[in-house]
Amino acid sequence: MADQQSAPHHPRDAVSEPALVRWLLILISAIFLALFLVVPLGTVVGRVVVAGWGSFVDTISESDTQSAIRLTLSVAALAVPFNLVFGIAAAWAIAKFEFKGKTFLTTLIDLPFSVSPVISGLVYVLLFGADTWLGPQLKAMGFPIIFAFPGIFLATVFVTFPFIARELIPLMQAQGTADEEAAISLGASGWQTFIRVTLPNIKWALLYGVLLCNARAMGEFGAVSVVSGHVRGKTETMPLHIEALYNDYSTDGAFAVASLLAALALVTLILRTLLEVKFGADVGNGRHK
């Protein structure tokens, strides 16, 4: 840059835009980002600050809010490990073994991404709802699925299903099987190979996938809304509680709960960015196809 000459046909000028155009384009995209993302996020923070600390504490310490927080944490605490097991098993099978229909399997794993959240909830209502054979049977046995915890868990697992698998598959494919073959030829068992060789190789990508999966699991609205039944203090997760407060004209309360989820989203983004800066080659592979 420093040695840039003022000759009008210097190649650097030919493959760049005038400074004015550059700044105009940066300005346009910055305004776009501000209008649709930054200002709305700032509003969440602003509304909570304006309402004051007392109002925030009041909302958060309400028993309905507390139970919504507990439910959201419990659902995520079960759904994330479930998808962790699936993600590792699927990525291990796809990356380390050859079998027919591999591409098809990868497509199927991505399927939940192209299904509307509402439909992701609906499929479980069609399977376990009141007008099915199975649903009322299970309910009579004291194990209701729809409008109860199991339904919320299933819907959450469905929408977060691809996150960890698609993060691991490209990395494990790129790493190949040489390390594992070496471990096995030296006498390690399959399980030892996995714990001592494979897992350390994929740990950062795994953490990255878990972060994204968790953020989505805690924030899911549409799918959970269909199966939850919206019973306050019982089957209402944090996102559903935000809607209930908002519809009750308790806007300050809605923003107080929303600020907790917004904070979770920001922490997720920051950790993610740190992981990308530090382990850029390993993480972020599944972000876009």
Partner 1 sequence: MSLGLALTMLTLIVLIPLAALALRAAALGPAGFYEVISDPRVFAALKVSFLTALAAAIANAIFGTLTAWVLVRYNFFGRRIFDALIDLPFAMPTAVAGIALVSVYSPKGLIGQWLAPLGIKIAYTPLGIIVALIAVGFPFVVRTVQPVLEEISRETEEISATLGANRFQTLFFVVLPPLIPAILTGFALALARGVGEYGSVIFIAGNLPFKSEIAPLLIVIKLEEFNYAGATAIAAIMLAVSFLMLFVINGIQSWSQKRFGHG
Segment 38 to 67, residues that bind partner 1, using CB under 8 A? 38-41, 43-44, 47
Q: How far is the CB of 226 from partner 1 (least distance, A)?
A: 6
233-262 residues near partner 1, rule: CB under 8 A = 238-240, 242-243, 246, 251, 254-255, 258, 261-262
Contact string 161-200 vs partner 1 (x = CB under 8 A): x---x-----------------------------------
Rounded to an integer, what is the distance from CA 265 to the centroid of its chain?
9
| Among 171, 175, 146, residue whose Cα is nearest residue 235 | 146
Examine residue 127 and tell whether it contacts partner 1 (CB under 8 A): yes
For residues 145 and 154, the answer to whether their CB atoms sit within 8 Å is yes
Q: In this chain, which of 136, 144, 222, 233 binds partner 1, going by CB under 8 A?
A: 222
Q: How far is the CB of 216 from partner 1 (least distance, A)?
A: 8
| Among 209, 243, 270, 203, residue whose Cα is nearest residue 83 | 209
| Torsion angle of C-alpha atoms 199, 267, 54, 257, degrees rounded to 10 | -80
Number of residues that bind partner 1 (CB under 8 A): 89
Q: 64 burial class (0-12, 13-18, 19+ CB within 10 angstroms)?
A: middle
Of 66 and 116, nearer to partner 1 (C-beta) is 116
Examine residue 117 and tell whether it contacts partner 1 (CB under 8 A): yes
CA distance 261 to 244: 15
